[in-house]
Amino acid sequence: MPVDAALYSAALGQYAAGVCLLTVRDGIDDVGTTVSSVMSVSAAPPLVAVGLTADGYPAEVLEEVGSCALTVLAAAHGIVASRFASAGRPSARHLLESVAWTRAAGSGGIVLTEGLVALDCRLERLVPAGDHVLALLAIEDVPVLNEAAAPLLRLRGRYVDESARPLGRP
């Protein structure tokens, strides 16, 4: 018997996950999305996997362009995570007006300079996985590494700090 979707969602919501911003620079604009399904796959060669909605625009653009940037967000980026998780969002640059960012050298994707870490990535392949795809990303560079920054986490459907306290408005 299949597992109830609401029960499945509630069960996985108990797992605290880091929150990332994936950005793709195409010839027209910058596309970005919040992701929390990210995992390390391999150290040699350095690979990560990112879960994206299969029929979503970010997956489509990533497949076309073939490269992206991935920033692991800091606790101070709760508003940024919410903005990029919303449907019908404008250009990534417009959502980052008050946030320090630069471009990754290889992909040209936006990276937040105050994130925990940023990865400049090349798409190895997309792997179908139900209603999502797993983007297998080869790491080409690490343009940001802030080892003292506090992480942004997602737990039980909310953004929280490393002590599991819900984030308030700044």
SS3 at position 27? coil
- Per-residue model confidence as pLDDT tens digits over 24-73: 998 888 999 999 999 999 999 999 999 999 999 999 999 999 999 999 99
The neighbouring-strand residues paired with 87 are: none
Cβ(150)–Cβ(78) below 8 Å: no
- The DSSP output letter for 30 is E
* Token digits of residue 80: 């940024």
* Phi, psi dihedral angles at 168 (to 5 degrees): -90, 175
Domain ranges of the chain: 41-154
Whose structure tokens read 């940023």? Answer: 118
Cβ(19)–Cβ(152) below 8 Å: yes
The neighbouring-strand residues paired with 132 are: 53, 129
Q: Is the dihedral of CA 60, 61, 66, 72 positive or negative?
A: negative
Q: What is the pLDDT of residue 102?
A: 97
CATH class of 41-154: mainly beta
- Per-residue model confidence as pLDDT tens digits over 148-161: 999 999 999 899 98
Span 93-120, average pLDDT: 95
Q: What is the pLDDT of residue 14?
A: 92
- The DSSP output letter for 161 is -
